Amino acid sequence: MFESLQFATEPEAAAVFCMKNSLSEHGLAQLGTQLDNAQETCSAMFLVGGFSESKYLQKRIKEEFLHRVKNISVPIQPMAAIARGAAIYGLSIRSNNLNNIGNDDNLKCVISSRILKYTYGIKSTTKWVIGDPVNRKTHDGYISKFSCLARRGVKMDVNQEVTSSRVPIYPDQKKVAHSIYYTREYDGKYCDDPGMKFLGKLHVDLPGSGLNRPVLFGLTFGQMEFVATSKNKLTGQIFKTTFKYNLED
């Protein structure tokens, strides 16, 4: 890549030479080839990584490709974009002016949805009925099953919420626990099915008594994470917790 590289005594001079040589001979040409081979028009280009902080790089790419790519942008933290995913940064960063990327007025959502990698749901306890496995029947006549909330392969808009309403199973119940599970399967029947994994648990207080004390559970799919909430619909009390998308297999 640097066949003609010659070392200078001044570090800055050597760095500038290396940068310009790399760009002129390889970088810009490869970018152009990628655009030529694209099946569709490229609507946005994000410059990420430490090298993207270079004003020279930003200027050259803008000169070469702004007539082909409408939006050429640099995240506020280019290095962080590598770690968190350059595409995810498209959720909050879009600008035509590389010198004004800190201005919120120039930011616009590019990626507005995601395809779910997993199926998400919660443990649901209901009355055991004939046909349910006898070995899963509790001593007081209940059975716990997996209740699907969001299915793998479904497109979810950013900040879209899926909800499920629950009521206590005992009149004197003081809390409701929502145990969250996920799986690579498109659905599940029980929370101990093969491939089913426990994600976390969320509790909500239940003051008072009786069965008519509904609780609303929700999963909101955000930009970098999703938020689980449990809300007592009578008191308005809300509990929430946050999970990252990088779930382990």
pLDDT in tens, 90-100: 555 444 443 44
Nearest C-alpha neighbor of 241 from the set 197, 158, 168, 180? 180
Report d(CA 93, CA 74) in Å as an integer.
8
Q: Is 114 exposed, middle or buried (0-12, 13-18, 19+ CB in 10 A)?
A: buried
Summarised one tens digit per residue, pLDDT across range 205-216 is 888 888 999 999
Question: pLDDT category, 239, cuts 50, 70, 90?
Answer: confident
Question: pLDDT category, 198, cuts 50, 70, 90?
Answer: very high
SS (HEC) of 25-60: HHHHHHHHHHHHHCCCCCCEEECCCHHHHCHHHHHH
Question: pLDDT category, 192, cuts 50, 70, 90?
Answer: very high
Entry pTM: 0.59
236: which 2 tokens? Answer: 């308005």
Nearest C-alpha neighbor of 98 from the set 134, 136, 55? 55
Share of the chain above pLDDT 70, in %: 72
Q: What is residue 38's predicted lDDT score, i.e. its pLDDT?
A: 63
Q: Where along the chain do its domains lie?
A: 40-111, 114-244
114-244: what fold? Substrate Binding Domain Of DNAk; Chain A, domain 1 (2.60.34)
Question: pLDDT category, 185, cuts 50, 70, 90?
Answer: very high
Q: How far apart are the first and last CA of the chain?
A: 38
